[in-house]
Structure 1
Amino acid sequence: MRKPPGYVAASVLCSLGGFLFGVDTGIIGPATVMDEFKNYVGNTSPIVHGLIVSSILIPAAISSFFAGRLADALGRRTGIAIGSLIFAVGATLEASSVHIAMFIVGRVVEGVGEGLYLGTLVVYICEIAPPKHRGALTTGPQLLITLGLVAGFFTCYGTANIESSMSWRLPFALLAGYAYAFSAATLVWLPPSPRWLNLHGKADQAAAAWEKLGVPAADREKILEQLETSVLEPPSPDVGDETSPDRAMATGTDAGVSSRRQPPASDKPNKMLDVFSPDARSRTFLAVFLMGMQQLSGIDGVLYYAPLLFQQAGLDSVQSTFLASGVSAIVIFAVTIPATIWADRWGRRLSTMLGGLGMAATMLIMGSLYAGDAVHASTGAGRWVVVVGIYVFAVLYCVSWGVGIKIYAAEIQPQRTRASATNIAHGSNWVTNFLVALVTPLLLAKTSYGAYFLFSICTFLAVVVCWLFMPETRGKSLDEIEQAFQSSRVIGGPWKLAESMRKMLGRKRLAVDA
């Protein structure tokens, strides 16, 4: 059996960071409804319940805004290792907390680490993967997130009957162990990003990293041809002459194109505000919007509060709601596997729009059943339609938005802003995730259908924006993606769309007057 290429092994190792996020997501909902945890925190209102769950998210949003700078300064590998180590410390505080305040502090620390490493995972894989495998490999973290959901839900299912605080402490202790192991493995086995090394003028180290990753020479050249030749630091004197073969391979240029493509000094990626420069801001705004709407679809409302949703639909025992939640996680994991394999066969734009319409319709149907009082705890088909609807929604999300949007947000960015812009987009994801986690239990307590209608409207709005502003990127090199954005008449902003409509209406009026 042939050993897989190094870039595949590195991508799989990197994707294990998604497993940590998935386990935490799978744990926190069931853990907070366990009887032992309720005894630990006392009677809490829905808003306090939401705060306990969501306290991880705002710190993650804040730290993700700086994760790109950390990854640019210290390297992708180091940024991932530092973030996952902080995450492990937070999980340790949760598992060993002696008061609810200490538990929340643990959530906050965990969030800081999560924000630092999670967005950088996709950036790293995007920078080492050959173009023909980029889609499949960059969906690896999402696949491992779904595996983590399965592990988290069933860990809580297995510990729920422990008649002590270990029923909820043990899942967090296991999570801390996973995180410490991942941080150490990242530093020991994950090669540095050759693109990052090139940007810092370390051509010799970049060549060694390419060899360790096992990227074929032809694919290596394609990847580096997509790399903008701007550098963070001038090359060191021992790197070699601009026209030497080694230098050409390291930078992806030759003597004939180097001077033509070298950007001015003002364009060097040493400022965080570069993400708002004229050639990058439209892509930054689109990535921020899409990553925010990914959460406003309601996916983490479903994942965090699956036991509550199933309980509301009529599954009354803790064991049955945990089991239903675990089954939903298995379904999510199962459908994410083919979605990952076929990621480069499906159009990003079309799958995002069709998946969004399906999710919006599913949420609308479930909300309408509750609004029409058709869901009863013990009788009728309404409750089973809701249970199946939750599964259908999760499946549609995983095969469309869960896979496509995170890839899209990273691959549309210029190289010099990719780390910063991708992590800012993840920050948007964290902020909206916080809002969803905070308001979902409140909405479920006040009205049985409000959350479903809210998520349906938000998802449909996102589909409209995608139809107007989202160019296709499937199968395109990063240079071709750059050209698609530069040539798009709509993506520059709503004002360009409005200008086009004014011109069109003006021509129609002239035709009528004539």
Structure 2
Amino acid sequence: MSRTTSVLESSASAVELQRLGRDDQSTTNQTHNKSLWRDSWLARPIIIKALPPQARLIMIGAIVSISGLLYGLDTGSIGPVTEMDQFYKTIGFIPSPALHGFFVASILLSASISSLCSGFVADKISRRFGVFTGAVIFTIGATISASCSAFPALIVARLITGIGAGQMIAVASIYLIEIATSETRGKLACMIQFCIAIGIMTGYFITYATQRISSSLSWRLPFIVQASTSALLALLIIAFVPFSPRWQAQHHGEQAALDTLRKIRLPDFETTSRSGNETLQSLQESQLQKEILEIRAAITEARICRNSARRGSSAGASSYKELFHRRYRKRTALGIFLMSAQQLSGVDVVLYFAPVVFSSLFSSQTASFLASGVSGIILVVSTIPAQIYVDRWGRKPMMVGGGISMAACFLIIGSLFAKFASIENNTVRLAQGPARWVVVVLIYLFLAIFSMTWAVVCRIYAAEVMPTRLRSKAAAGQQLANWTTNFVVALTAPSFLRATPSGPYFFFSACIAFTTLICFKFMIETKGRSLEQIDNLFDQHNE
């Protein structure tokens, strides 16, 4: 008998369950008092019933994944922007490598802080409004970036933008995991990474086009695009994105969660009746009822565990503390490790500082910008197979196979730089010859492999291994680790790249190899399982 069933049927929990029933009644009364809010247009998004259920999920996922597009737009454009002569003329000086690194990385610093608060935000105001408020904050930051000229003000603007980006992506990742079915969870969660890749590619080509503008509009236009896109996301969230059913089950009861699941998962009732597919409708309804029972069991157990763990502390505090309980600490550590290791792969050194990396291979600024744009195209194209096959290939094989391949790419690149590179006028140059083109091919190959494997799996796996009641809090810690590691890497990258031609590639190759060994040893395969089944699976491995 499963752990969940044991909890529900345990006679020792009978008294607790009775008290929980009273708690549920209290919650119902509070919810009733807020009926005006629930019936308002802000809380009732439009669900296009004419669309097939799969298309509805894709549409909702695509809207929420615009948060990834925004982060990609910034990632793809900030490197080229800081290499433009027009940008230097506006701020009045050329930043040192250290200041250059801090300006680029400042968005990551504030994103790491906001991601730490994202768990509280996602639980308190919902996943839906967590993404919405993040989009509003991002709009404010991007608008200031597009309108100011003083370098300190630009840093402040990037810090504000980072607050929005950190919250959006952390909460969006939770949301997509929670609305998907077990069969589509991988594909739906991949959409954020796919949109990040599209954003990076678009950001590269926007700056490739605007670099020819002689005025400050050349570097302001990318920020204008970001501000417009984030404002559009905020509107689309309000109009079309429903609440997470699992969040609703915790805060507004099972019926609200079931209603939302019906709206996004079931075909239109009238269309089904006309087509004579009542049997299919009945089967799908029974599947939703089964999912609600699993959610109910998970929530009931969560309340029992939380109430029994209380010793005068708040529920929120006990939940954070519970992340490191024997039952969950392996998952918590693995999720934090994977999200940190994703950045220690060195991918953002290539993405943020692509013009700097390619300037060591090409003497023309236009050529290095174009090469950066090509890397964006490769990111987009290579993310497509991951979206299609992530639920077939499995999480663990993708992490291990991708890690071995990426480590080999960087090891060869580092060897070529060690043999053929030189430093001229504080700039790394690779000697003319076949080695230059081998490096270009290997950089593109590295990006393709990363997009097909680690970029997708790390985010999905870290979110799906945690139970519902701890997922937002665990995601906050995971995103904090991700953004903080990213900040340190981006801050030191310009100096690292200029100080030693081969050192960065050898370092990141070693980090990737170490992560691959950890994944091979400790990852448990989760493909094809519901979130509640994954919870049971990890408990079995802890026994």
User: Same fold by TM (over 0.5)?
Assistant: yes
* Equivalent in 310, 316, 320 of residue 270 of structure 1: 316
- Cα shift readout 1:433-488 (whole Å, capped 9, x = no counterpart): 00111111111111111111111111111111112211111122223322332233
Identity %: 39
Change over 3 Å in CA distance of 1:442–1:200 after alignment to 2 = same
Give the 5 Å matches for 1:416-455: 416-455=469-508
- 2 CA distance for matches of 1:371 and 1:377? 10
- Cα shift readout 1:194-226 (whole Å, capped 9, x = no counterpart): 110111143333233223213442442454344
For 1:327, the equivalent position in structure 2 comes to 374
- Cα shift readout 1:156-186 (whole Å, capped 9, x = no counterpart): 0110000011100011011001001101211
For 1:217, the equivalent position in structure 2 comes to 285
- 2 CA distance for matches of 1:33 and 1:223? 52
For 2:74, the equivalent position in structure 1 comes to 24
- Cα shift readout 1:32-58 (whole Å, capped 9, x = no counterpart): 101111223312211111001000111
- 2 CA distance for matches of 1:439 and 1:267? 43
For 1:345, the equivalent position in structure 2 comes to 392
Q: Which amino acid aligns with 1:407?
A: I
Which runs of 5 or more residues in structure 1 are unaligned?
A: 232-257, 493-514
Paired residues of 2:72 and 2:199 also in contact (CA < 8 A): yes
Change over 3 Å in CA distance of 1:260–1:172 after alignment to 2 = closer
Paired residues of 1:68 and 1:421 also in contact (CA < 8 A): yes
- 1 CA distance for matches of 2:76 and 2:302? 51
- 2 CA distance for matches of 1:259 and 1:372? 60
- 2 CA distance for matches of 1:185 and 1:260? 33
- 1 CA distance for matches of 2:363 and 2:287? 55
Change over 3 Å in CA distance of 1:206–1:442 after alignment to 2 = same
Bigger drift between 149-158 and 205-214 goes to 205-214
- 1 CA distance for matches of 2:251 and 2:302? 20
Change over 3 Å in CA distance of 1:183–1:261 after alignment to 2 = closer
- Cα shift readout 1:4-23 (whole Å, capped 9, x = no counterpart): 32323211211121111111
Paired residues of 2:342 and 2:454 also in contact (CA < 8 A): yes
Change over 3 Å in CA distance of 1:218–1:20 after alignment to 2 = farther
Change over 3 Å in CA distance of 1:101–1:208 after alignment to 2 = same
Paired residues of 2:71 and 2:165 also in contact (CA < 8 A): yes
Give the 5 Å matches for 1:288-437: 288-313=336-361, 315-373=362-420, 377=430, 379-437=432-490
Paired residues of 1:226 and 1:477 also in contact (CA < 8 A): no
Change over 3 Å in CA distance of 1:4–1:102 after alignment to 2 = farther
Instruction: Report whether the alignment pairs 1:142 with 2:142.
Output: no
Q: Which amino acid aligns with 1:297?
A: S
* Equivalent in 1, 18, 38 of residue 88 of structure 2: 38
Runs of 4 or more consecutive aligned structure 1 residues displaced over 6 Å after TM superposition:
258-261
For 1:245, the equivalent position in structure 2 comes to none
- 2 CA distance for matches of 1:316 and 1:259? 62
- 2 CA distance for matches of 1:334 and 1:423? 30
Change over 3 Å in CA distance of 1:140–1:225 after alignment to 2 = farther
Q: Which amino acid aligns with 2:193?
A: Q
Paired residues of 2:409 and 2:442 also in contact (CA < 8 A): yes
Paired residues of 1:23 and 1:151 also in contact (CA < 8 A): yes
Change over 3 Å in CA distance of 1:435–1:226 after alignment to 2 = farther
Q: Which amino acid aligns with 1:390?
A: I
Instruction: Report whether the alignment pairs 1:175 with 2:226.
Output: yes
- 1 CA distance for matches of 2:287 and 2:473? 25
- 2 CA distance for matches of 1:49 and 1:228? 51
Paired residues of 2:78 and 2:104 also in contact (CA < 8 A): yes
For 2:129, the equivalent position in structure 1 comes to 78
Q: Which amino acid aligns with 1:473?
A: T
Count of aligned pairs: 463
Deviation at 1:378, TM superposition (A): 5.9
Paired residues of 1:191 and 1:212 also in contact (CA < 8 A): no
CA RMSD of aligned residues (A): 2.1
Using structure 1 for the length normalisation, give the TM-score. Answer: 0.86
